[in-house]
Every structure is written in C-alpha cells, then in structure tokens.
Amino acid sequence: MATGTRYAGKVVIVTGGGRGIGAGIVRAFVESGAQVVICDKDGSTGRTLEQELPGSVFVLCDVTQEDDVKTLVSETIRRFGRLDCVVNNAGSHPPPQWPEETSIQGFRQLLELNLLGMYTLTKLALPHLRKSRGNVINISSLVGAIGQSQAVPYVATKGAVTAMTKALALDESQYGVRVNCISPGNIWTPLWEELAASTPDPTAKIREGTLAQPLGRMGQPAEVGAAAVFLASEASFCTGIELLVTGGAELGFGCKAVQCSVPAGASVIP
C-alpha cells in the first residue's frame, strides 16, 4: 500500500478500530503515513486489520477497563516514543427501545462505553499529547444534537460526548492541544446492518436510512476517516468544533409526527 505524507511521522491511537467506522479511520491514517495503534476488544478483527495494514499495530483493549487503557497508552509510548492523536471511536448503539423498555443497568453500561471510555483514554493520553501539541478526535453522532426515537440512552451519551469535547477544547488550548469531534449520520457499517436486522423489516429500515440523506445514500467509513485525517493534520485553527459527516440528514423541514408514513425522526443513525 502506498502511503502519503499528510501525517507522516505521527502516532495515532484509534479505539474500536477493528471494524466499521474505526477501521475506516485506521485505514485513512495509515494511508496518510501515520503509525496507527488499533485498539479493540475483539482480537480477531484487530489482528486481521494489523496484518493487512503495514504501519499499524494491534493492542487488545476494552476501553471500559482502566487497566487496559493504561496498558494501551504505555505500550504505544514504549513502541513509538510519542503520541500525536487519539481518536475515541469505540462505542455501541443498542437496538431500538422505548423509554419504558430501557434499564438503569443498560444505561450505566452504555455510559461506561460511549462516554467514560473516551474520558479515561483522553485523561491518560493528555500528558503525552501536551508534549507533542497533538489532538483528540471524539466520534459523536448527529443524533446527539437532533435526537432520535427509541434511543434515549444512546442519544444522551452522544450529546455528552459533544459537550465534553467543547469543555476539553477550552482546558487544553493552553497546552496547544486541539480537541474536536466528528458527528456521523447514517454510515453503512456492520453495526448499522445489525441494527437493521433487529427490526421487523430490515429492508425497509435500510431504505429509510438511505433516503434520510438529501444525497440519497449512506456514507462510507472511509469518508469519516478522511474527516479525521483532516482534523488531525490540516485543521490547525479548529478546536472545539463538531464536524457533521451526515450527507445533509439534518437539513430541511418535514413531517415527523407518528401519523407520517415514514417518521423521519425514527431514522437509525449509528
């Protein structure tokens, strides 16, 4: 694989990097010339990607376990001697649930993964990012800003990710560390496919997700990866921003009441 020079000589950690959006981000950074540490709790997908992409290494890590995250950071520094960018991508989207179907325990577990995992890695990585005047990229979601039907816990965690990004950007600016987030809309990933499969009519759900964008298609993981490389390498005067990668899904005024044949507010947007 030919590599570019946009982020050559830099070291990047990508959590949840074994598949889907995370894998798209890993590929984009490798293609930019960076050394990429793939963090994933699934050893099979992470090791497969490591073998496919020279310039990447895999470290088994569950971001909900503080000791795992400490090992991830220390192993990165041991191997490469520096850290320039952390991409907090690991997360999950539960199947659609009405509020009365959710549980306190399920919400707590989602918070541990989608929000506290990001906090833990960022906190442990900051001493190294301050040395390199590096940056943090958090993967949030469009629904953190616009809401989503049957997804109260998920939307709450992603709204918190976006808010945490802005607060961190303020605190870290004094050290020259930039903190930004990407909020994807409908990106075609294994997670999206699994969520569709959990509905009564997966084909209809996929069509609904496809037609939610004015561009008439879902996005691809590579497109989120391109946005991440841009934020890390070229967006040197951007901090605290939320970059929407959505195909325009948030645009326009439309029927969202339950009487509508296709409730726009019910789109599945991992």
Place of tokens 């050394």: 35
Question: Which two three-digit tokens encode residue 15?
Answer: 């959590």
pLDDT tens readout for residues 79-110: 999 999 999 999 999 988 999 999 999 999 99
The answer, yes or no, to whether residue 167 has pLDDT greater than 70, is: yes
Confidence of residue 3 (pLDDT cuts 50, 70, 90): low
Contact 222, 24 (CB under 8 A): yes
Average pLDDT over every residue of 174-182: 98
Give the torsion sign (CA, 219, 221, 226, 231).
Answer: positive
Residue 243 has pLDDT above 90, yes or no: yes
Query: Quick check: helix, strand or coil at residue 78?
Result: helix
Which is catalytic among the residues 7, 119, 154, 175?
154
Nearest to 138 by CA among 156, 163, 155: 163
**Nearest 10 degrees: Cα torsion 184, 189, 192, 196:** 150
What does the pLDDT read at residue 8? 97
Mean pLDDT, residues 42-71: 97
Going by pLDDT thresholds of 50, 70 and 90, the confidence category of residue 265 is very low
From the number of C-beta atoms within 10 Å of its C-beta (0-12, 13-18, 19+), residue 67 rates as exposed
- Arithmetic mean of pLDDT, 160-174: 98
* Lowest mean pLDDT, pick from 22-26, 160-164, 176-180, 263-267: 263-267
Task: Give the contacts of 45 (CB within 8 A, at least 6 positions apart).
Answer: 18, 19, 23
- Tell me what pLDDT residue 260 has: 67
Is residue 119 annotated as a catalytic residue, yes or no?
Answer: no
Per-residue pLDDT of 124-163, as tens digits, reads 999 999 999 999 999 999 999 999 999 999 999 999 999 9
Integer CA distances (angstroms), 216 to 165, 171, 209, in order? 30, 39, 9
Sign for the CA dihedral angle at 12, 174, 244, 110 comes to positive
Confidence at residue 257, expressed as pLDDT on a 0 to 100 scale = 83
Question: Is the pTM of the predicted complex or chain greater than 0.85?
Answer: yes
- The pLDDT value given to residue 266: 46
pLDDT at 253: 85
- The per-residue pLDDT for 270 is 54
Structural domains of the chain sorted by starting position, each given as residue range(s) with its CATH number in brackets: 11-248+256-266 (3.40.50.720)
Comparison of pLDDT for 1 and 108, the residue scoring more: 108
34 and 3 in contact (C-beta within 8 Å)?
A: no
Give the closest residue to 130 by CA, choosing from 94, 187, 171: 171
Give yes or no for residue 74 having a pLDDT over 70.
yes
φ, ψ dihedrals at 93, nearest 5°: -125, 110
